[in-house]
Amino acid sequence: MSDETTAMPHQQPGMPSARGAEDSLAPLGQHDPVVMGPYRLVGRLGAGGMGVVFAGVDSAGRRAAVKVIHAELAHDDEFRVRFRREIDLLRRVRARCMVQVLGADAEAEQPWLATEYVPGPTLAQRVEQNGPLSEQEIVGLAGGLGEALRAMHTVGVVHRDLKPSNVILSPTGPRLIDMGIARAMDETSVTRTGVLVGSPGWISPEEYRGSDVGPAADVYGWALLVLFAATGRPPFGTGRPEVLAMRVLADTPDVEAVPEPLKDLARRSLAKQPSERPSAEDVLNALVQGWRESAVGQTAGDVTLVEEVTRYLDRTWVMPLTNNSNWIVPAPPSRSGARRWGMVAGGLGVVGAVAAAAALFINGGAGEPQAPAAVRTDRTAVPAPTSSSAPQTKASSATPSPTKEATSSPKPSSLGKKVTMIRGHSFVLPSDWLYFPDNTNNTEGMCLRPKRMKDADYLFCSQFGMSIHPWLSTGSGASEDDDLSWLEDADGLNYTYSGEGPCISGHTSRKGEIVKGGLNKIGNLRAHYRKARSYCDDGSTRETETLVLPITGLTIVIDKLPAEERAQAEDILRSFKFAKKQTR
């Protein structure tokens, strides 16, 4: 891999294709290892800024999701600290409804972590395909998540990233995944004070306010997931992260769609003040008490809360697998290296299991950032790895190629002046362009435009030119999550701050679309790239290009420009020099 991305082609990171396992299990790349610890690796489940999650099979044919850190990151002491910490947190928690660790080696040349393989769709996929869950399913989901959170909080761990793509609806019950940005309550945070972690729209009010985040934030997240399962919609809608932050702080979601047994509990769990919310223990006790009261003819006896959850799910949970697939496992190569025979490692549904595994990296395996401009945190730029990073490799690559637009751009011009940003990044600004700080959203951000437009009134930073925003390390809404699904929302990318959507003078006539996607060069790095088009009811269209470097923590937005000025914008991108060391 030689870029800062990637999920499998045409997939949202953390949200593998719901069309079937065949689309989600990608072949090994040219420089991918074929063996890691006791596991033979048979394909890719997903990838992100921290590394790759592989489908692995041990000598007994048992399947696992094997998370492998990029070789170049293995030499970074701070990354190793984060990885050891994640392993420790995962091993500390024992819950029926949480994914379990099978093995790990944080000291290996390429550190790795193997977790159990969980079949089933994510909650996000299930809702997208079939709409809201039934009342019985919602109650089972609430109980399973309550059990997982209670187990975490009992041993002093806070998850901090509850969202639909981090919940797998397995055949035996809901399973909470991705401990990548979890934190022990008694430890100093690895991130700096004020840095937000989580996914926009799923972050608690206290974290947006910059307060300490504890177990109550997970209870708030629990209520949001219950509400999402009941309505089939994100509780605070969709939009740019800063818009979602404002809604979280100002609005209280309506819980009328939540089943009656959960309604009051969900309402109290959504309180803006953490002290007013019930604990995970209270949540689970209330759920179990309701189950006991409704179980006519049954007595509770001397049964623990965990046993009650198990009983309820065994009695009521029905979540059939809709996709079945086999992993074709290459036999170990012979000494002559001549022929390989394939064997089948069992047929389990893998749509959500792929998501469960991929989320370990893609949803922030060690606190990877997520939100765009003005709602982000900075990261250290990672140089492109070389082919020597893996000891054993397999031919073929699943790395997305740059778009045609990305590869046809001219080399940066030497004409212009060097501009150095607060973070130490620099670029060459053409002599006929100007720049000024974005005093509206993020003063570290810069608004760039041709000088011919210097007197033009503007509604947003990138209008008539482009904007460059480092992800914020403090303040309103910086995120440390690597779920970049917002890049698939064309109308969200085109949001203008002038009203409720992307159209400056009105509303959209239909849903927007991503017309180009892939990778685009920024300096010596490759960024996620999307070109979005929105359709306005006055017959006009609006187009912008968005580029994101999730490790470095940078978002660039380019307005629709004449060809000559678009070429100058590309010059600016190519001229980027990144700071060698950034402060986290």
Which residues are the active-site residues? 161
Burial 377-392 (b: 16+ CB within 10 A, else e): bbbbbbeebeeebbee
* Whole-number Å distance between alpha carbons of 176 and 167: 5
User: Using CB atoms within 10 A of its CB, is residue 31 exposed (0-12), middle (13-18) or buried (19+)?
Assistant: buried
> Closest Cα partner for 374 from 496, 556, 234, 547?
556
Three-state secondary structure readout of 517-583: EEEEEECCEEEEEEEEEEEECCCCEEEEEEEEECCCCEEEEEECCCHHHHHHHHHHHHCCECCCCCC
Q: Where are the beta strands (DSSP E) in 245-357?
A: 325-330, 342-348
CA 99 to centroid of chain Cα atoms:
17
Return the number of other C-beta atoms located less than 10 Å from residue 494's C-beta.
24
DSSP H helices, 319-430, are 351-362, 404-407
Q: Which residues pair with 325 in a beta bridge?
A: 348
3 state SS of 333: coil
Ligand-binding annotation for 67, yes or no, is yes
**What Rg, from alpha-carbon coordinates, does the chain have?**
24
Residues placed in the known binding site for ATP: 67
